[in-house]
Chains A and B, each alone.
Chain A
Amino acid sequence: MIHTLEELEEIAEAKREKDSETKEELRVCIGSSCLSLGADQIEKDLKEEISCRGLKDKCKVKGVGCNGLCSAGVLVSHIDREKNSETMYGNLGTSDIKSVAEAYESGTILKEKLLDPHDPFFLNQEKIVLENAGYIDPNDIEDYIAHDGYFALFNAIIELSAEEVIAEVKKSGLRGRGGGGYPVGLKWETVAKVDSEQKYIVCNGDEGDPGAFMDRAIMEADPHRVIEGMALAGFACGANKGYVYVRAEYPIAVEKLNKAIKQAKRLGILGQNIAGSNFSFDLEVRLGGGAFVCGEATALVTSIEGNRGNPRQKPPHLSDYGLWGEPTILNNVESFANIAPIIRKGGAWYAGFGTEKSPGTKVFALSGHVKNTGLVEVPMGMSLRDIIYKVGGGVPEGKKLKVVQTGGPSGGCIPEHLLDIPVDYDSLKSVGSMMGSGGMIVTDDSQSIVEVARFFVEFCASESCGKCVPCRVGTTELTNILDKFVAKTATKEDLILLQDLCTVVKETSLCGLGQAAPNPVITTLKYFEDEYLEAIKND
């Protein structure tokens, strides 16, 4: 059990000392994407190879979370602490393990698998949330502590008041990373001021947007960071209980979080009287049952309560009437993951990144027709063009980019000529899209825009909870009409109806998901009306 900062420092020191005994490390990415390519087998085989060659004392093989470049998985990095160098290999299969081990033993480089760590993909990123991803072992709390983990929490509890923690978060200007962009500090302050015996901290890990996998990577690569952020929220707002709501389709994230919570409890970092204070905080993981709508805040708490995960009408807001009717803070995984560095290095430091109205960095999941698919973390305000071309490496096969879809099914499609807008909450909104949780799907000019719109609307129709009429009926009607456009059998009346339906669904649906469901149609109608007109049959 740890009670003081000194004891925490001792653990960090001991771990660092132990690590320095082995001069070199082979880090295997065991994120979900690499796992699906056999990373677990590669880690096992590599361990065996290294120990067979008698190199165990010199080199440690370690599984780490996602380093971002999923398109080049499975990734293995060779770290030499003495030379302070990193050699990165990509596109590895189980058959390559022998050659990796051989190259390592003979001190040569496996040229055909070599990746350039100076690739613009890595150089143009700014890592705050993902600072530990790809470096630490997510299964080892000591590794997290050795990388400054839990120092923010202990410092806050021992040295700071709850108000000071909130002030620091407010100063950082951090806005909710789940998509809405509501100021995190303001949300915390509201709940802190509510007079209530019981309050809750809830983390939204129900990431369900097509093409979004930021939160999964954070939970898998650095689960303790989420826990620390939540505990800090609990300290700041006077809550002693938290829930991490994770979709059941993320079994590895669930496993890592549960393990991390267990380890934190064992060390007294979670539980009663944390850091010798009278602050107590307990954390539990709750699984989602496969409904996209449970990512909506009110539906999520209803689901934790054990009910059918339907949203309810706001107000009352969760800060007033949340989980089991108590004041509740609900933030997204990435929001919580930003908290520890903010407390550790100060709100002003964080506000130095990004733009004035959208400070900090944002993690994006790049997918679709882009060369470097994977996870990237960039400062807010970088242009879409830079993210896609500099970091993402552009559209493959020499094709032209047609649209970028941001914000998942609730977001909008942004055409090529608007790629120079800075990526921040307000700019994306101004072109009809939204930040969303961070999915970014690139589409090249071989795709029909109507089919792209139809894909997202059908997703919303099949994920509508069915509670309110405009979303339940409207999204199905929209899908049916878009079917006619895809089949090029639509009429002029269909186009008018399509527009009317978009307006009604957007303005009258009960929750954010219904209100945003027509966005892909609205934006594509705005920027690609020609394609809709072409789909109208002439007779």
Chain B
Amino acid sequence: MIREKARVKTFKINGTDVTGKSNQTILEVANDHEIKIPTLCYMKGLSCVGACRMCLVEIKGSHKLIPACTGKIKEGMEVETETESLKKHRKFILSMIFAERNHVCSVCVSNGHCELQDMSVELDMKHSSVPYIYPKFEVDASHERFVYDPNRCIVCTRCVRVCNEVEGAHALDIIDRGINSKIIHDMDEPWALSESCTSCGKCVQVCPTGTLTEKGVSSAEMVKKKSLIIDLLEARENRDRK
């Protein structure tokens, strides 16, 4: 019998032969081989939810598109990441994200350091193809160090996951559903009143947009520590090994 950990699979991404370990996802193997697949809700170190649909890929022989972040690799599979229809879908979905809430870059503290903004450049999205919805959410600036502006949120749930999976506090979750989905603290209380929040600030660092930011920064000044989660998880692993 072949031992589980010895299993390696060979398959194709965009016609190139690649290899990966049997428990890896398409996205992980693509990253290992420097094949770029766009992502927004994905963050290394956190669980994968396949919510933003940016990393959708085609698998030869299947009519269903699957997200590369959750799709496990299979021997001999043929993955396409850059077909014309995928590029079109991605751009359209990105445009829906922009249309959903208020993403006016010029007045945003994250201007120039925003993953959503970067994505629009990467996908060459110059205008929105769908009408703006502009719901109105209250800004929560009650916390002494951080600000939460749901109007800039793309509901990627990185903050919910990091709080639950890395910090272990589960202070964040989602209230309501559909277009009204909103990240909340505890039972939808002002941030400052949240009893489970440890004020560690991980949610702020993983947030891809200007939704969760530090106080005291002005427009275009909010630079986030993107490597924080990976550094932290590696440090924990090293400590456990000792």
Chains A and B form a bound pair: yes
- Residues in chain A within 8 A of chain B (CB atoms): 291, 293, 308, 312-313, 315, 461-470, 472-477, 480-481, 497, 500-501, 504, 507-510
A124 to B207 alpha-carbon distance, docked (Å): 61
Given A313-B50, A510-B50, do A473 and B96 touch, yes or no (CB 8 Å)?
A: yes
State whether A469 touches B96 (Cβ < 8 A): yes
The chain A residue with its CB closest to the CB of B90 is: A508
Whether, in the assembled complex, B225 has its beta carbon less than 8 Å from a beta carbon of chain A, the answer is: no
B181 close to A308 (CB less than 8 A): no
CA distance A509 to B176 in the complex (A): 19
B51 at the A/B interface (Cβ < 8 Å)? Answer: yes
Which B residues from 144 to 191 make CB contacts under 8 A with A? Answer: 154-155, 173-174, 176-181
Interface residues of B in 114-134 (CB under 8 A from A): 129-131, 133
User: By the criterion CB–CB under 8 Å, are B53 and A472 in contact?
Assistant: no
The reply to whether A466 and B92 form a contact with Cβ atoms under 8 Å apart is no
Interface digits, B179-206 against A, CB 8 Å rule (1 contact, 0 not)?
A: 1110000000000000000000000000
From DSSP, what is the main secondary structure of chain A's interface residues? helix
- 8 Å CB contact of B65 from A312, A472, A497, A507: A507
Measured between beta carbons, the chain A residues less than 8 angstroms from B67 are 313
Say yes or no: A473 contacts B177, CB within 8 Å. Answer: no
Q: Which of B51, B97, B129, B155 contacts A497 (CB 8 A)?
A: B129
> Who on chain A is nearest to B180 by CB?
A466
Question: Are the C-beta atoms of A508 and B89 separated by less than 8 Å?
Answer: yes
| B99 part of interface (Cβ distance < 8 Å) | yes
Cβ contact of B97, chosen from A464, A466, A469, cutoff 8 A: A469
Residues on B lying within 8 angstroms of A by beta carbon are 49-53, 56, 65-67, 70-72, 89, 92-93, 96-97, 99-100, 129-131, 133, 154-155, 173-174, 176-181
Name the B residues within 8 Å of A476 (CB-CB).
133, 178-179
The 12 listed contacts between A and B (C-beta, < 8 Å) are: A308-B174, A462-B178, A466-B178, A473-B179, A476-B178, A477-B130, A477-B131, A497-B130, A500-B92, A501-B130, A504-B89, A508-B93
Q: Closest residue to A479 on the B side, CB-wise?
A: B179
Nearest B-chain residue to A510, judged by Cβ: B50
Which chain A positions have C-beta within 8 A of B97? 469, 473
Please, which residues of chain B bring their CB within 8 A of the CB of A308?
A: 173-174
Select the residue from A462, A473, A481, A497 with max chain B CB neighbours within 10 A.
Answer: A473
9 nearest A-B residue pairs (beta carbon): A466-B181, A464-B178, A313-B50, A473-B96, A476-B179, A313-B70, A466-B178, A473-B100, A466-B177
B41: shortest Cβ distance to chain A, in Å?
9
Residues of chain B within 8 A of A462, CB atoms compared: 178
Distance of B145 from chain A, by nearest CB (Å): 28
Q: Which residues of B contact A468 (CB under 8 A)?
A: 50-53
Known contacts: A308-B174, A504-B89, A508-B65. The answer to whether A472 contacts B181 by CB under 8 A is yes
Kindly list chain A residues whose C-beta atoms are within 8 Å of the C-beta of B72: 315
B74 CB → nearest A CB, Å: 10
Determine which of A466, A473, A500, A510 lies in contact with B133 in the assembled complex, contact meaning CB atoms within 8 Å. Answer: A473
Identify which of B129, B173, B178 contacts A465 (C-beta below 8 A): B178
B130–A469 touching, CB < 8 Å: no
B82 to chain A, nearest CB (A): 16
Task: Determine if A477 and B133 form an interchain contact, defined as CB atoms under 8 angstroms apart.
Answer: yes
| B89 CB contact (under 8 Å) in A461, A477, A507 | A507
User: Closest Cβ of chain B: how far from A195's Cβ, in Å?
Assistant: 14
Q: Which residue of B lies closest to A478 (CB)?
A: B130
CA–CA, A205 to B94, complex, Å?
36
Q: How far is the CB of A517 from chain B (nearest CB, A)?
A: 11
> How near does chain A come to B101, taking the closest CB pair, in angstroms?
10
Contacts of B174 in A (CB 8 A): 308, 466
Partner of B131, one of A291, A470, A480, A508: A480
Bound-state CA distance A510–B174 (Å) is 18
Assembled-state Cα–Cα distance A504/B129 (Å): 12
| A315 to B73 CA separation, bound complex (whole angstroms) | 11
Query: When chains A and B are docked, how far (Å) is the Cα of A480 from the Cα of B135?
Result: 13
CA distance A465 to B176 in the complex (A): 8
| Chain B residues, Cβ within 8 Å of A461 | 178-179
Contacts of A467 in B (CB 8 A): 49, 51, 155
Find out whether the CB atom of B53 lies under 8 angstroms from the CB atom of A477: no
- Chain A neighbourhood of B154, CB < 8 A: 469
By a CB distance below 8 angstroms, the chain B residues around A473 are 96-97, 99-100, 130, 133, 179
Chain B residue nearest to A307 in the complex (CB): B173
Using A473-B96, A473-B100 as known contacts, say yes or no to A463 and B178 having CB atoms under 8 A apart. yes
Residue of A with least CB distance to B154: A469
In the complex, residue of chain A having the shortest beta-carbon distance to the beta carbon of B50? A313
A293–B176 alpha-carbon span in the complex (Å)? 13
A463 touching B51 by the CB < 8 A rule? no
Closest B residue by C-beta to A315: B72
